[in-house]
Amino acid sequence: MTETKKEPGMAQLVIVLLVISAVVALLLGIVNMITEPAIRANEKAKNDAAMAAVLPADSYTPVEYTGSDTTINAVYQAGDAGYVFQVSPSGSFSGTLTIMVGVDSAGTVTGVEIVKTAETSGLGANASKPAFRDQFVGQSGTLAVAKDGGSIDALTGATITSRAVTSGVNSALAAAAELG
C-alpha cells in the first residue's frame, strides 16, 4: 500500500465526523419535534379506542394498583361500570404482548383487545381477531385454554399466545376481584 501525499491528520478526521454527526443530530432533533405530538396522539388514541372497545364508559379514571401481580401495567375505573386493565402477560411467544381487558362490576369479562403484539404474523397475531377474543366475553373466575382443560379454544398453531392472553385475562379478573 502506497502512502498518499495528502494523508489527512487526526484533527481533520475528528472534525469531519463531528460535523457530520452534529448535522445529523440537529436533523433528528427537528424531526422528533415535529413527529412527537403525532406519535403521542397515536398511542393515546389507540389506548382510548381499546378501552372504549372493551368496556364503554363516559370517562376513565386511572386507579393505582397496589396488588402483587407485576403483569398489570395500568388500571382504569370506567365510571361505575367496572374496571379496565392493561396487562402484559408473561409467556407470550415473542416480544411484549399487551392486552386491554374490561371487567364489569359483577366480575365478568366485557371484552379483550390486543394493544401491542409482536406475535408471529398469521399465527399468534390472529389473537387480535374477534373470533378468538370474543370467547372471553361473559367469562369469569379462572380461565384456561381447552388443551389445559378450560373452555377457551386456542388459536391454530399458536397455543402459547392463546395461553398468554388467557393468563392476562386471569390476572385482570383476579385484580378486579381484589378491587371489589
CA angle 61, 164, 86 (to 5 degrees): 10
Cβ 81 to other proteins, closest distance in Å? 28
91: left (phi over 0), alpha (psi -120 to 50) or beta: left
Cell numbers placing 149: 382443560
Q: Does 49 bind other proteins (CB under 8 A)?
A: no
- Among 54-62, 68-76, 78-86, 120-128, the segment contacting other proteins (CB under 8 A): 120-128
Whole-angstrom CA distances from 7 to 2, 3, 13, 17, 51 are 11, 7, 10, 16, 63
Q: Which of 49, 86, 121, 152 binds other proteins (CB under 8 A)?
A: 121
Q: Does 16 bind other proteins (CB under 8 A)?
A: yes
Binding site for other proteins (CB under 8 A): 8, 12-13, 16-17, 20-21, 24, 27-28, 31-32, 34-36, 38-39, 42, 46, 95, 116, 118, 120-123, 156-157
